[in-house]
Structure 1
Amino acid sequence: MARAVPALQRAFDILELFLDEPELSAPEITGKLGLPRTTVHELLSTLVERGYLVPSGRGSTRYRLGVRGFQLGSAYADRLDLAREGQLVAEEVAAECNETVHIGIREGTEVLYIAKVDSGHPVRMVSAVGRRLPAHCTAVGKALLASLSRQELDELYGAEPPRPMTDNSITDPARLREELDGVAENGRAREYCESNDAVACVAAPVRDHYGEVVAAMSIAVPILRWSERSERELAETVVRGATNLSERLGNRA
């Protein structure tokens, strides 16, 4: 690996201070980073010249982020592809747990799967990218529905109660709302034989750079490999994976 350039690292260190502080002065930056005063002033001058920082006001000795960083961030966001990024992260998660991993988005009361990586086990879940399932019957769907307001949920399920896929499916709107409240609180969802009599899942929401839930990641396991311990471990794995994908989409929460 090529050697990192110290001056560039220091410049990025300065810029990243502004992720948490709206304005900073040269002495404050010097104190936070422990850099020589002359080095900080030289780097600040360069960053101002390139538009990454600007003085906070006319004659001000304090600095704030400039438009150039916004332009780069916007260009990055414009080029993001949720399905592509989701597939890459799903591959990493599947390699870690050796179970089937899905990325899904919500369309009305349904989940649409946009990325998938199969388990290496001979017994695994049969599914496909592009498949749709009722959101209330899946862990992915619950992770997505949990981000909605009570009014939005009532609009989705008020006219017609959720329909079952198995005997374990939730069909009572009040019970569904109660479970979704728990998902919102815990940051993870589960399903045990609600969309398939032989499959259990755990899932976690994926957020974009605005903090909005735009997708969810799940790990699906045949019930012959399911236990309290495996559920706990897989839940931790799927939360890490969803957090990783969220960060790829620009989320910092």
Structure 2
Amino acid sequence: MGRAVPAVIRALDILELFLDGETLTAPEITARLGLPRTTVHELVHTLTDRHYLSTVPDRPGHFRLGMRVFQLGGVFAGQLDLAREGQAAASEVAARCDETVHVAVLEGTEVVYVAKVDSTQPVRMVSAVGRRLPAHCTAVGKLLLAMLPADAFAARYPRRAALTSMTPHSIASVAALGRHLATVRANGIAYERCESNDAVACVAAPVRDHEGEVVAAMSISVPVLRWTDESAAKLTDVVRDGADALSARLGHRAGRPLPPPA
């Protein structure tokens, strides 16, 4: 492998500070990254000159992501069939159940949401495409972790690794996570109740590609005030159907032999 270039790393660190959608000043960037003030000013000037950052018209000294980032993201989204097809499939599921629907992929020990359709109901989950959450705290994440080969899971979660807790209900140990995932793997469905958000419950199903590999998960998220045994059973059927429909969009043929579970 080639040597990482420090200046490029620093420029990317600056860009990644803006992933939450906020605007920042050069002194704020300097403070967050601990870089020399001169270095930050030079990098910010270069990124602005190349349109990766832009100034905020009504907020002197503040910067936000620029048009070039949007253009690159558009090219990426155009190449990623999962994002496009996931959005279409999620829209169909949301129309059927009127709850918030997500499609997510696994990246390390986190899930990244690549598609989302909101519920029209006044009480609903608030989230965003591109958001990351600890995989073990979410239904989509637990579904995807359950489908990993044993060695891939162990590489992500050493036996004594500390797990982030988002609520008091989050799974707190790798051993407990392993036991939970065995159930998920056996059932082919994952549930989460108040593990990432005290007020939300979710159910998730696997999305497979043309080779039968699990490449994503689809979930339906519901405020706990609407989560009952009856609604959970209905939403489980809906999310299974939706995940199967998205799998078909990705070229998966129902009934063909599937890879064995991990």
Q: State the TM-score, normalized to the length of structure 2.
A: 0.65
Q: Distance in 1 between matches of 2:105 and 2:239?
A: 16
Once residues 212 and 193 of structure 2 are traced to their aligned partners in structure 1, the CA distance between those partners, rounded to angstroms, is: 28
Alignment map for 1:236-251 (pairs within 5 Å): 236-251=237-252
Call closer, same or farther: CA 1:236–1:151 in 2, change over 3 Å.
same
CA distance in 2, matches of 1:80, 1:152: 24
Query: Structure 1: how far apart are the matches of 2:125 and 2:79?
Result: 32
1:81 corresponds in structure 2 to 81
Aligned to 1:92: 92
Q: CA deviation at 1:236?
A: 0.8
* Structure 2 Cα separation of the partners of residues 210 and 80 of structure 1: 17
Compute the displacement of 1:234 (Å).
Answer: 0.4
Structure 2 equivalent of residue 49 of structure 1: none
Which of these two proteins has the greater Rg computed from alpha carbons?
A: 1
Matches of 1:103 and 1:79, distance apart in 2: 17
- Tell me which stretches of 4 or more aligned residues in structure 1 moved more than 6 Å: none
Give the deviation of 1:161 after TM superposition.
2.5
The amino acid across from 2:150 in the alignment is R
Give the drift of 1:80: 6.6
Partner of 1:170: 171
Whether the 8 Å contact between 1:137 and 1:191 is mirrored in structure 2 is yes
Q: Which residue of 2 aligns with 1:103?
A: 103
CA–CA distance in 2 between the matches of 1:79 and 1:107?
18
Shift of residue 219, structure 1, vs aligned partner: 0.2
| Mapping 1:160-239, distance limit 5 Å | 160-239=161-240
**In structure 2, what is the equivalent of residue 120 of structure 1?**
120
| Residue aligned with 2:231, SS | helix
CA distance in 2, matches of 1:164, 1:79: 35
Which amino acid is 1:103 matched to? V
- Tell me the C-alpha RMSD between the 2 structures: 1.4
Task: Give the whole-Å Cα distance in 2 for the aligned partners of 1:215 and 1:164.
Answer: 23
Bigger shift: residues 108-117 or 174-183: 174-183
Q: Alignment identity in percent?
A: 62
Q: CA deviation at 1:87?
A: 0.3
CA contact (8 A) 1:80 1:249 kept: no
Deviation of 1:182 (Å): 1.2
| 1:101-159 Cα deviation digits (max 9, x unpaired) | 00000100000001000001000000000100000000010111111122221111115
The answer on whether the counterparts of 1:105 and 1:114 sit within 8 Å (CA) in structure 2 is yes
For residues 115 and 197 of structure 1, the distance between their equivalents in structure 2, rounded to whole angstroms, comes to 23
Q: TM-score, normalised by structure 1?
A: 0.67
Is contact 1:136-1:142 (8 Å) kept? Answer: yes
| Paired residue secondary structure (1:190) | strand
